Amino acid sequence: MFTSLSDRLTDTFRHLRSKGRITESDVNSTIRDIRVALLDADVALPVVRHFTGAVRERALGAEVHEALNPAQQVVKIVNDELVTILGGETRRIAFAKQPPTVIMLAGLQGSGKTTLAGKLAYWLKDQGHTPMLVAADLQRPNAVTQLQVVGERAGVPVYAPERGNVSGYDAAIESRSGTQGFGDPIAVARQGVEEARRQQRDVVIVDTAGRLAIDEALMRQASDIRTAIDPDEVLFVIDAMIGQAAVETADAFQRGVDFTGVVLTKLDGDARGGAALSVAQTTGRPIMFASTGEGVKEFEVFHPDRMASRILDMGDVLTLIEQAERAFDRRQADEMARKFMAEEDFTFDDFLQQMAAIKKMGNLKSMLGMMPGMNQMRDAINALDEREFDRVEAMVRSMTPFERTHPKQINGSRRARIARGSGVQVSEVNALLERFTEAQKMMRQMRRGGGMPGMPGLPGGSKKGKQAPQRKKGKSGNPAKRAEQERAAADKAKAAKGNAFGSAFGADGAGGADGAGFDASQLPKGFDSFLGR
């Protein structure tokens, strides 16, 4: 969504970092580039003026001139102001003290309200709540049926006493009441809340009707539903791809319905993303959630600080960590840690478990995009074929249990059988086995505390220039001194393994079971901020 804006800002800051000292002319040039980038991204003009004015005021002040690295300080200022216009702080759902919590969805037709209702219900269910959907959109053809399908996918019940519009009646010639005889959406919404209370559901999500454009009937119906059910949250669902029209639409709904929060949909699209940078600033209402794809799981809480980091190509490591924590089973992680410490080899069964966890995390390209500096590798990421994972999984599942745990025993005839069973060429099976052997070697080297092989700048990695071979100390002929040397060598190996365990499996403090400490000085510069140290 923010590809174009991110590229423009990255180029601007790259030019700024090449300067050792920043003058007023440099600041003005940077502000001009930022203004053009924001306007090109369809950000509303009042928001652009406010943003660039705030950046200019801080950049020309003592805050930058007294900084050791003025260019980095300007980037920090831009990041801070981006966070501000995106809402400042993360806004959570305000749950009712007395259940059920009633959430009403409002927005134009085509913004993705019905699909969003299912995603929100699935997310709430994953958080331990018991949501129920209410089909109060009786105007759009087959909206009730769509909500029932979405609810089934999310595993959430749907209250739908009325079938709604199933004949495709033209909304342009609707009756004055706006119901066309398909049922009363106000009554359905009210009954849905009562049904949720009777079933002891703690959250009710009411899907309301939209229009192709803002009109009096739409606002009157939405206002009447709000009055009838007295919702705890009214979420305005807006298509992030509509650009400048987002501000006008948001203002109209704010006056007509007075929503409490915003949900952005279609953030996975290739539009310029101005809506996301405009709505929160112009309406004063926070962006609470974002829909990042078509799947029911592709939905996330909107964090202004993390979104600002994505726009500035600084990544979103925290969201990536949260997704990993949800996807990776703790028991499996403990088993992997045990095998690592026991010096057991990584097997294809372990590989299958890791692949399943990665798939559970969501879209691989999206995950790679959360890593810092990945904008420079966008073409390679876009060229990534995620179906390759399916082919690799097919090859592994074509192996027998014995072959998965003893890959070295897979001879030519076995490779041919695996290729036939998975529908690939024998050369692809050979390549998989070669990569797997390299992965096993890497795990062994990490276990010895040697770090990642072939990675410059990391412990055990390749370094420029040849190093003189270290001369091994000879063993003492004195039995007591020799025993002391062997004990010291064992302690050193134990500490190295503990450090490798801590870095590989995220062990806290003592480096796992062996009590070896974790050395943050080995991390890349600035990365320790993510560890909360």
Is beta strand 261-265 parallel, antiparallel or unpaired with respect to 233-239?
Answer: parallel
- Do the annotations mark residue 109 as ligand-binding? yes
**Concatenated DSSP letters of 38-73:** HHHTT--HHHHHHHHHHHHHHHTSHHHHTSSSHHHH
The CA-based angle 71-76-78, given to 5 degrees, is: 95
Distance CA 205, CA 196 (A): 10
The residues pairing with 205 across neighbouring beta strands, listed in sequence order, are 103, 133
**Any binding-site annotation on 108?**
yes
Q: Is 114 labeled as ligand-binding?
A: yes
Nearest to 1 by CA among 285, 321, 242: 242
On whether 207 is known to bind a ligand per the annotation, the reply is yes
211 marked among binding-site residues: yes
Residue 266 among known ligand-binding residues: yes
532 known member of a binding site = no
**210 marked ligand binding residue:** yes
3-state secondary structure of 456: coil
Are 315 and 529 contacting, i.e. CB atoms less than 8 angstroms apart? no
- Omega before residue 100 within 30° of 0, cis: yes
Name the strand (E) or helix (H) holding 186.
helix 185-198
Q: Is residue 146 a known part of a binding site?
A: no
Residue owning tokens 């099976």: 429
Q: State how far the alpha carbon of 427 is from the alpha carbons of 158, 395, 411, in Å.
A: 51, 12, 13
Is 258 annotated as contributing to ligand binding?
A: no
Gap between the Cα atoms of 81 and 277, Å rounded: 11
473 in a labelled binding site: no
Say whether 110 counts as a known binding-site residue. yes
Q: Which helix (H) or strand (E) holds 203?
A: strand 203-207
Which of the 8 DSSP states describes residue 414? H
Is 209 annotated as ligand-binding? yes
Residue ranges at the known binding site:
107-114, 207-211, 265-268
Residue ranges at the known binding site for GTP:
107-114, 207-211, 265-268
